[in-house]
């Protein structure tokens, strides 16, 4: 499989890789995807997955999946399993076994000892508050810790005792000795180990000291033979530290860190902390709520791996801001579903129509294909009966200008059926329309009516044959393009109260045995997917609206 279903888009990282291969710097490339197992992956991670795994595929290299499990309080096996599922679902497979930063805890400790022996790391007793005070600011240099010049032997002893659990949490740290006057704050003697008694999902209680990400990541890359370590732009200022650590140690290789802009998608969030807040506060039903930008939520909503890979291809890779309109993502799934899913009819706001001149055994039904351009999808019978359901929105007593659907005394064509005329409107005591009495033109099954034009086409279902179904109509989770872009308001204030509407309606019998995650176009209504959890083939039918047929939102603002 190629990294995308269309031709790759050139970008600066490809240029670097191609130059490295052409010059002989590398014979092949090794990339990695290094998530922390502290939440579910979201659409922003999909960009990184498609980039790292896609480049490895395109240049016949390899890509590792390595979990950054250095922060044990927030990590879980549930998250780790979901991440592996998401990568596979997107269509990628990592090289060899799943790797973990914890696989290297022993080596990382030994490398830290080596830094101490070289006089390039020391144990510091400053409190976190004191450390912040000593660090300085963006405009003022930091000051040396009073513990910076401890003898090597004392540092080796203290670090060993930290590992042996002799000191309380937070009482000591190991810091790299670099430059407290550096204009880059990341080089002002960064902490590389801290004491933290926390049960780890893989190492249990073996360790009470844990390495920091910046120290762990570069060494892990080197131990795995990574050639190009791709990360988002917020790590650009960390690159000098990445290089400094590797330059001090006898590691097998020195990977090149390259930064690219992260994805910001309008009308949603890609902050794992804020997504976790939505879940914890039950503002959504869970990480896989179809309104969430998580890959598991998007999968449940009906997005396909192909559409997400195509989205990643279209948005490209650069160092400039990557704020993308939701319409780009929705356009990718519409194009994919337009070509690849069968079409059937459903009614989500049912209004009953009685066919007054229906004749049992004489009024006919018609065969219809599942897709106009895909004859291999086959066809089904669309049964007609004396009572049918239509959409309530397809009838109006006071229609607007240009209306081409049913009106009292007016005609419309039933999709795959007859031309029908509304002869009578039945209302309840409150004046609400509850039923229409209509007659068909018996000569119009598959034929144009004689002597007149009927423009409107509406969808419908036979009451006798239709299956009851639940439709979950999903819309954008937020009402504004940048829900966390207004510092005067909490992002939760912008949650769209109409982001989910649940309705009961009817659908063709052709979908009765559809497995969970089966996708359809319900004609004129949108693209839908059988819910992967609640849909029961032959039983309760539950369909999630993935996206409407057309973009109904106003032009998005940047």
Structural domain that includes position 203: 105-212
pLDDT, one tens digit for every residue, the chain (558 residues): 444 456 788 999 999 999 999 999 999 999 999 999 999 999 999 999 999 999 999 999 999 999 999 999 999 999 999 999 999 999 999 999 999 999 999 999 999 999 999 999 999 999 999 999 999 999 999 999 999 999 999 999 999 999 999 999 999 999 999 999 999 999 999 999 999 999 999 999 999 999 999 999 999 999 999 999 999 999 999 999 999 999 999 999 999 999 999 999 999 999 999 999 999 999 999 999 999 999 999 999 999 999 999 999 999 999 998 889 999 999 999 999 999 999 999 999 999 999 999 999 889 999 999 999 999 999 999 999 999 999 999 999 999 999 999 999 999 999 999 999 999 999 999 999 999 999 999 999 988 898 899 989 999 999 999 999 999 999 999 999 999 988 899 999 999 999 999 999 999 999 999 999 999 999 999 999 999 999 999 999 999 999 999 876 545 443
Q: For 496, how many CA atoms within 13 A lie in the half-sphere containing its CB?
A: 19
Residue ending a domain, among 423, 442, 465, is 465
Picking from 62, 61, 45, 56, the residue whose alpha carbon sits closest to that of residue 8 is 56
CATH code at 274? 2.40.240.10
> How many helices (H) does the chain have, and how many strands (E)?
12, 27
Mark whether 531 and 425 lie in a shared domain.
no
Composition of the chain by helix, strand, coil, percent to 5: 30, 25, 45
Q: Is residue 250 part of a domain?
A: no
| Both tokens assigned to 191 | 């902490």
Mark whether 199 and 311 lie in a shared domain.
no
Mark whether 476 and 414 lie in a shared domain.
no
Q: Is residue 19 part of a domain?
A: no
CATH code at 195? 3.90.800.10
Mark whether 313 and 353 lie in a shared domain.
no
Q: pTM of this prediction? A: 0.93
Measured between alpha carbons, how far is 545 from 389 in angstroms, rounded to an integer?
A: 20
Q: Which residues pair with 60 in a beta bridge?
A: none
Q: What is the DSSP string of 464-489?
A: TTPEEEEEEEE--SBSSS-TT--TTS
Q: How many domains does the chain have?
A: 3
Mark whether 336 and 472 lie in a shared domain.
yes
Mark whether 456 and 349 lie in a shared domain.
yes
Q: Is residue 427 part of a domain?
A: yes
- Catalytic: which of 202, 262, 482, 524? 262
Rg (CA), the chain: 31
- β-pairing, 30-33 with 419-427? unpaired
- Residue 549: Cβ-neighbour burial (10 angstroms; 0-12, 13-18, 19+): middle
202 counts as catalytic: no
Q: Is residue 440 part of a domain?
A: yes
Mark whether 311 and 356 lie in a shared domain.
no
Q: Is residue 230 part of a domain?
A: no
262 counts as catalytic: yes
- Catalytic: which of 32, 99, 175, 272? 272
274 counts as catalytic: no
Residue ending a domain, among 212, 229, 254, is 212
Residue ending a domain, among 413, 445, 465, is 465
């Amino acid at each position: 499989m190629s990294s995308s279903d269309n031709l790759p888009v050139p970008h600066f990282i490809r240029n670097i890789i191609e130059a490295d291969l052409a010059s002989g710097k590398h014979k092949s490339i090794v990339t990695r995807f290094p998530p922390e197992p502290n939440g579910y992956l979201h659409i922003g991670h999909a960009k990184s997955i498609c980039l790292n795994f896609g480049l490895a595929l395109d240049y016949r290299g390899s890509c590792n999946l390595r979990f950054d499990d250095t922060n044990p309080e927030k990590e879980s096996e549930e998250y780790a399993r979901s991440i592996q599922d998401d990568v596979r679902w997107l269509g990628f497979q990592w090289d060899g076994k799943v790797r973990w930063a914890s696989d290297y805890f022993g080596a990382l400790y030994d490398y830290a000892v080596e830094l101490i022996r070289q006089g390039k790391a020391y144990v510091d007793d400053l409190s976190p508050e004191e450390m912040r005070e000593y660090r300085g600011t963006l405009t003022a240099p930091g000051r040396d810790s009073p513990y910076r010049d401890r003898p090597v032997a004392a540092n080796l002893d203290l670090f060993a005792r930290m590992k042996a659990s002799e000191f309380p949490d937070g009482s000591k740290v190991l810091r790299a000795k670099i430059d407290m006057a550096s204009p880059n704050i990341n080089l002002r003697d960064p902490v590389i180990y801290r004491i933290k008694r926390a049960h780890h999902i893989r190492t249990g209680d073996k360790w009470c000291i844990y390495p920091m990400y910046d120290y762990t990541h570069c060494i892990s890359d080197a131990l795995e033979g990574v050639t190009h370590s791709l990360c988002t732009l917020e790590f650009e200022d960390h690159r000098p530290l990445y290089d400094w650590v590797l330059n001090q140690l006898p590691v097998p290789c020195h990977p090149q860190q390259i930064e690219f802009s992260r994805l910001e998608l309008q009308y949603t969030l890609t902050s794992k902390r804020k997504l976790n807040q939505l879940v914890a506060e039950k503002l959504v039903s869970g990480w896989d709520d179809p309104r969430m930008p998580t890959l598991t939520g998007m999968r449940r909503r009906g997005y396909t791996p192909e559409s997400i890979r195509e989205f990643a291809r279209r948005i490209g890779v650069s160092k400039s801001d990557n704020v993308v309109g939701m319409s780009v993502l929705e356009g990718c799934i519409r194009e994919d579903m337009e070509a690849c899913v069968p079409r059937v009819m459903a009614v989500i706001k049912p209004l009953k129509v009685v066919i007054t001149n229906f004749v049992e055994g004489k009024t006919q039904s018609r065969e219809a294909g599942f897709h106009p351009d895909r004859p291999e999808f086959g066809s089904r019978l669309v049964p007609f009966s004396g009572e049918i359901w239509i959409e309530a929105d397809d009838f109006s007593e006071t229609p607007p200008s240009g209306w081409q659907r049913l009106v009292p005394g007016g005609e419309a064509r039933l999709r795959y059926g007859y031309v029908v005329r509304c002869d009578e409107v039945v209302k309840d005591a409150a004046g609400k329309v509850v039923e229409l009495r209509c007659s068909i033109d018996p000569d119009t099954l598959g034929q144009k009516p004689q002597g007149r034009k009927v423009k409107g086409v509406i969808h419908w279902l036979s009451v006798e044959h239709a299956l009851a179904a639940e439709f979950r109509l999903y819309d954008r989770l937020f009402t504004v393009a940048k829900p966390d872009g207004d510092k005067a308001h909490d992002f939760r204030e912008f949650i769209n109260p109409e982001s989910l509407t649940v309705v009961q309606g009817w659908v063709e019998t052709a979908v009765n045995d559809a497995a969970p995650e089966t996708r359809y176009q319900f004609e004129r209504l949108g693209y839908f997917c059988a819910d992967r959890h609640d849909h029961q083939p032959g039983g309760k039918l539950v369909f999630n609206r993935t996206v409407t047929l057309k973009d109904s939102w106003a032009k998005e603002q940047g």
